[in-house]
Amino acid sequence: MTRTITGKAWVFGDDVDTDVIIPARYLVTSDPRILEKHCMEGLVPDFSTRVAPGDFIVAGENFGCGSSREHAPLALKGAGCGGVIAASYARIFFRNAINVGLPIFECPEASKAIAEGDALEVDTSSGTITMTGIGEVFHFSPFPPFIEEIVAAGGLVPFVREELERRKTR
């Protein structure tokens, strides 16, 4: 699926954890519309009112470390975040983002080069991140085939639905 996402960058460092993405005290709901109000508030208190649709989180290594809460990618999605560009991801966050359909891109070079507020354009079909201001282009690595399969099915929910159908007719 070809998709271009544009937005500006919100830059964070290494090891951004799930407690700052969405603090546990708000986990009494899994409704993205409620969660997004507290998204990133541990680092940027008024993030949810300042983030614009399509804006990117740009971070260093190990983004999303900490808990297994799917509320973290849900909160970012709810806030209208266009995706996350990081040097690397913590493993549970990585799986969760794929499963709930939050676009994530692994690109250490872009993560280093991009500064706060930079205008970005991500093209998911060509696998490129462009810093539109200066025209600098970065390539991100495609997902491994198994993950592509889930993405192609539209996420884990439809993937399992198809698998269950197959089992019924077997």
Partner 1 sequence: MAMTLAQAILSRKSDKAPEEGTLCRVRVDLAFANDITGPPAIRSFKEMGAEKVFDPARCAVLPDHFTPNKDIAAAEQAKEARDFALEQGMLYWEQGRVGIEHAFLPEQGHILPGEIILGADSHTCTGGALGAFATGVGSTDLAALWALGETWFRVPSTIKVRFEGEKPENIGGKDLILALLSLIGVQGARYKALEFSGEVVERLPMDDRFTIANMAVETGAKAGLFAPDKTALDWVTPRAARSFEPAFPERGAPYEKEILVEVSEMTPLVALPHSPANVRPALEVGPMPVDQVFIGSCTNGRLTDLEQAARVLRGREVHPSVRCVVIPASREIFADALRLGFIDTFIQAGAVVCTPTCGPCIGGHMGILAKGERCVSTSNRNFVGRMGDAGSEVVLSGPLVAAASAVAGRVADPSEVLAND
Tell me which residues touch partner 1 (CB under 8 A).
Answer: 14-15, 17, 19-20, 23-25, 27-30, 41-43, 45, 61-62, 65-71, 74, 88, 90-92, 95-96, 99-100, 144, 146, 155-157, 159-161, 163-165
**Nearest in space to 58 (alpha carbons), one of 31, 81, 35, 38:** 81
What contacts 51, CB < 8 A, 6 or more positions away?
A: 10, 39, 79, 80, 81
Q: Are strands 119-123 and 4-11 parallel, antiparallel or unpaired?
A: antiparallel
CB of 44 to partner 1, least distance (A): 11
CB of 18 to partner 1, least distance (A): 8
Residues 8 and 120 sit within 8 Å (Cβ to Cβ): yes
Choice between 11 and 92, CB closer to partner 1: 92
Choice between 23 and 80, CB closer to partner 1: 23
Choice between 68 and 132, CB closer to partner 1: 68
Cα 130 to chain centroid distance, Å, stands at 17
